[in-house]
């Protein structure tokens, strides 16, 4: 039993390493963004897309605070990787579905970074439930993290946001096209579009920009079956699933001065699906 658990953890860690290396390679290839000294908060950064964004910012010279909900090898390996990357980085255990945790997380940003130049609302929850079986608790759980969590993170970060700050919400392509069995998830991501449009108008005069990066299918540490992979290879124009670095690139662009006149926008990053 223990041997099997160890083997599974080893396999998982190898997958994480491969995916993150690919992400870093993509984010570092081509155009290099300079975020030297920028203070960045990324929610949900220990795995998947968030991890790709955290490492891309850290490698671009930023100081990064990120958070996660559960402990495990992904947290340990991120802490190690960040300790080997120049800059002042911190990994905090904080649940974005919990208001007190969000307050504590922003407190950590204040203490550790002294202010925030970039907020990336990445932490997200999903489940696959037929609409007639979807109960209000599960609806609320997903909305609480994806939509209410984003609202609370931005509101509580306001007092320490610096002029010119960039807020980037990670949405989803499904917000504009819909998807069966994920009505709660789709509603939460569509809600982000309204929140982003409204905030861009309200916060624009204060010098803040608010945008969405809306990924299509992106391969993370989750196992992908050959059938699913084949389906997406057929569906996307570029013939493959995305990797976290494909999403990190547009996020680093939106956080940069090159995007100084962009706000309220949704950028679909979906391989042309
Ligand atoms: N992957 C895709 O195909 C895809 C497509 C479109 C949009 N997106 C969006 O992209 C974002 C990242 O997705 P992903 O696929 O990379 O997810 P993932 O692989 O499941 O990773 C999610 C990350 O967020 C953390 N997290 C989740 N819930 C949290 C919470 N309540 N509080 C704090 N941290 C939390 C997780 O940490 P723990 O391990 O501690 O939970 C993990 O580090 C989400 O907003 C998702 O909706 C993903």
By CB atoms closer than 10 A (0-12, 13-18, 19+), residue 207 is: exposed
Predicted pLDDT of residue 32: 80
Residue 185 C-alpha from the chain's centroid: 15
Predicted pLDDT of residue 210: 99
Classified as helix, coil or strand, 250 is helix
Q: Which atom of ligand 1 is nearest to the CA of 49?
A: 16
Q: How far is 97 from 148, CA to CA, in rounded Å?
A: 8
**49 Cβ closer than 6 Å to some ligand 1 atom:** yes
**68 Cβ closer than 6 Å to some ligand 1 atom:** yes
Q: In the CATH hierarchy, which top-level class contains the domain 2-269?
A: alpha beta
**70 Cβ closer than 6 Å to some ligand 1 atom:** yes
How many A from CA of 174 to the centre of ligand 1? 15
Side by side, the strands of the sheet bearing 63-68 are: 90-93, 63-68, 39-42, 116-121, 161-170, 209-215, 266-269
Residues of the chain with pLDDT under 50: 1-2, 5, 28-29
Q: Is 208 an annotated catalytic residue? A: no
Active site residue: 33, 57, 185, 232, which one? 185
Predicted pLDDT of residue 2: 46
- Where are the chain's structural domains? 2-269
What is the Rg, in whole angstroms, of the alpha carbon atoms belonging to the chain?
18
């Amino acid at each position: 039993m223990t041997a099997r658990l160890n083997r599974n953890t080893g396999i998982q860690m190898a997958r994480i390493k491969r995916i993150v290396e690919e992400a870093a390679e993509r984010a570092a290839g081509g155009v290099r963004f300079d975020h030297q000294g920028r203070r960045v908060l990324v929610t949900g950064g220990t795995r998947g897309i968030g991890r790709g964004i955290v490492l891309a910012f850290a490698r671009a010279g930023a100081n990064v605070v990120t958070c996660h909900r559960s402990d495990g090898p992904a947290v340990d390996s991120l802490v190690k990787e960040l300790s080997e990357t120049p800059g002042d980085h911190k990994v905090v255990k904080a649940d974005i579905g919990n208001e007190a945790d969000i307050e504590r997380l922003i407190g950590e940003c204040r203490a550790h970074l002294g202010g925030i130049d970039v907020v990336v609302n990445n932490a997200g929850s999903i489940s696959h439930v037929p609409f007639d079986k979807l109960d209000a608790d599960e609806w609320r759980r997903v909305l609480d993290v994806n939509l209410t969590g984003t609202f609370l993170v931005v509101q509580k970060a306001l007092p320490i946001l610096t002029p010119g700050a960039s807020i980037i919400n990670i949405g989803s392509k499904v917000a504009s096209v819909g998807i069966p069995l994920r009505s709660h998830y789709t509603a939460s991501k569509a809600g982000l579009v309204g929140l982003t449009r409204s905030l861009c108008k309200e916060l624009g005069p204060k010098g803040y920009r608010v945008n969405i990066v809306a990924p299509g299918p992106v391969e993370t540490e989750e196992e992908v079956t050959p059938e699913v992979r084949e389906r997406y290879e057929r569906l996307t124009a570029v013939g493959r699933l995305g990797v976290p670095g494909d999403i990190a690139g547009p996020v680093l662009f939106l956080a940069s001065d090159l995007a100084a006149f962009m706000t309220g926008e949704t950028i679909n990053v979906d391989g042309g699906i």
